Chain A
């Protein structure tokens, strides 16, 4: 295993919902005791349905929301709830985020050179000449031109806007980039352009990505390790190849079977899940998927969710069923 650039230790984020006049507030547990380890220079995939806490986890890693419990370790910094904003800011210089929707995440009133160089400006660089030069360098790197420096975002298509967002994330020299569904707002034919650009940049600049997506086939192709989230908990994680070869948790199996393939090699049995994800408000300590799981047994509904356990070949799962089978053999 390579050097770990970022790890989370029992990271939890709770939101308090005070919708009653009296009484204690409800607790919405968006991220619950998540342990991830991301190696330097890899692409780590994070999959799950909407509302499962993928984006909240990313926000907690970057410190946009304060974790309720647990910590984030990043390049020698240990970041927790009580860490001072100054330390968070310092750590964050090396982390950046590319957001899902390039139509809303870029300021419409700034010219492109200002947008792209804003991270440098915030970090104290005030020389306009330097800022423009650096912005131009990055724009060329992501496939845009010198003429684009003084244009505004409304003049660009979705794919070009996402390129601007990528340039903005890279200009400060960040080594760790969180890509939160970077292609799902784009046209199908532009998907590949942006994916290839991200892959090229990763190779050349030795970047590490935390790649959030609900597109499993994309995750399969580009990532080395992945984690499957369900209602704030990680149900399965480890080597992408291994998880796709033999998914242990019934939820992962359902997710993989729901990929709509163009040329299926064998007509695989489709698993159609019943119902929908339950609410993460006052979620139980048991397996949160148990209510939708077709294989769930008594233990799944009553016993607390076991921690992620290695079942061999760099493959971790917290599914009762998989762990039971393993102990029988």
Chain B
């Protein structure tokens, strides 16, 4: 079956002065219909850049991206090649087929427009998505119609007192409400794929629970696919079925979330899981990963994780391991099987 999002060998380079920094180095990601997939990794591992590349939102002047394949299947079954799509073509795809929400909602809302006006714009620019549904041709929406739809959308995402909120400016709203507004805007045209880039990192734990609950409900209602980008394995477990672990621009592990959390194959994944202690027994010391994430221009030779890996040997420092599939449906980028490493 044709997946909704199909990426093969995505590479993203940024021009810095006379050199290039390799942010993403050959990433394969697929998201099936109605599926919920997560990309997990630390800051600087290229996960947000991957998300932005899917939307083609990276600045053309200094970002270069290449891929063997990067396609998006739309609601009518048509497969678009995102790489060759023009900017005008992307404008039609964004919001209606593929939409994105971001970590810090306040920087993505216009501070001098009321949130209601910003919500209306989605409908005014994409009238086709709401008026075409019952077989009739798309027609332009009037301001009043747009407002009615906006209020309905505000109610759908659980914004209390939508009439009052409609007239407010972003600075009058709390972080949780602003994130709800962004989610309302992103899901207004019922996109096929929602990319959520750390949507709850800036929020409190109780609000995080609300927002994750909202995303899950919306996904269930509309059958939309989700690509969740996060650094928090707890969030991954709460919303995703399948998961890609990224480190330094490469995918190091891939599989079903439950399998990965219970039996990680890659030393990095295992280390990440071990650093989050369970609630049941009290630990005296936390498991730590030595050193820091290397700067994209100073990645070690061989396996990028070799300088921080507890199981590093000679081959790790000389050659990058391929992404192999030791267990069906699971991939890991390590020279060794986990039995050889930590289950001895």
Contacts and interface: CB of A to CB of B under 8 A. Distances in A.
Interface stretch (A18-26, A173-181, A262-270): A262-270
B273 A262 contact: yes
B285 A196 contact: yes
B275 A276 contact: no
Q: Is the interface of A mostly helix, strand, loop or mixed?
A: helix
Contacts of B272: 188-189
Contacts of B273: 262
B112 interface: no
A199 B292 contact: no
B261 A272 contact: no
B177 A261 contact: no
B206 A254 contact: yes
A62 B243 CA distance: 45
B278 A189 contact: no
Contacts of A261: 234, 237, 278-279
B279 A220 contact: yes
A260 B232 contact: yes
B1 interface: no
Nearest to B288: A192
Contact of B286 (A195, A257, A270, A276): A195
A191 B275 contact: yes
B285 A263 contact: no
Nearest to A216: B205
Contacts of B43: 187
Given A196-B286, A221-B283, A189 B271 contact: yes
B278 A258 contact: no
A259 interface: yes
A272 B213 contact: yes
A51 to B, nearest CB: 8
A241 B231 CA distance: 28
B132 interface: no
A49 B206 CA distance: 8
B341 interface: no
Nearest to B289: A189
B209 interface: yes
B217 to A, nearest CB: 11
Interface in B197-256: 204-210, 213, 231-235, 237-238
What's the interface size class on B, roughly? Answer: 35 or more
A83 interface: no
A17 to B, nearest CB: 15
B247 to A, nearest CB: 10
B110 interface: no
A262 B237 contact: yes
B155 to A, nearest CB: 15
B183 to A, nearest CB: 15
A159 to B, nearest CB: 6
> Which residue, of A49, A157, A258, A273, has the highest number of chain B Cβ atoms within 10 A?
A258
A297 interface: no
A190 interface: yes
* Residue among A159, A241, A276 with most chain B CB within 10 A: A276
Contacts of A191: 275, 286
A260 B235 contact: yes
A310 interface: no
A105 interface: no
Given A188-B231, A188-B272, A262-B273, A220 B282 contact: yes
B209 A272 contact: yes
B278 A187 contact: no
A46 interface: no
Interface in B287-336: 287-290, 292-293, 308
A159 B282 CA distance: 24
A193 interface: yes
A214 B282 CA distance: 18
A216 B206 CA distance: 12
Nearest to A260: B234
B174 interface: yes
A282 to B, nearest CB: 18
A221 B282 contact: yes
B334 to A, nearest CB: 17
Given A199-B285, A258-B206, A272-B209, A188 B275 contact: yes
A217 B160 contact: no
B92 interface: no
A192 B213 CA distance: 29
B280 interface: yes
B154 to A, nearest CB: 15
A127 to B, nearest CB: 34
A50 interface: yes
A255 interface: yes
Contacts of B289: 189-190, 192-193
A19 to B, nearest CB: 13
A262 B261 contact: yes
B277 interface: yes
Nearest to B284: A199
A258 B235 CA distance: 11
Nearest to B293: A187
A276 to B, nearest CB: 5
B116 interface: no
Contact of B209 (A195, A262, A270): A270
A258 B276 contact: no
A58 to B, nearest CB: 18
Interface in A205-233: 214, 216-217, 220-221
Given A189-B289, A196-B286, A262-B237, A272 B210 contact: yes
A276 B288 contact: no
Counting from the closest, the 7 A-B pairs by CB-CB distance are: A260-B234, A192-B288, A192-B286, A49-B204, A189-B289, A258-B209, A258-B205
26 contacts: A49-B206, A159-B292, A160-B292, A187-B43, A188-B232, A189-B271, A189-B272, A189-B289, A189-B292, A191-B275, A193-B289, A199-B284, A214-B204, A217-B279, A221-B286, A258-B205, A260-B234, A261-B237, A262-B237, A262-B273, A262-B276, A270-B209, A273-B209, A276-B174, A276-B176, A276-B177
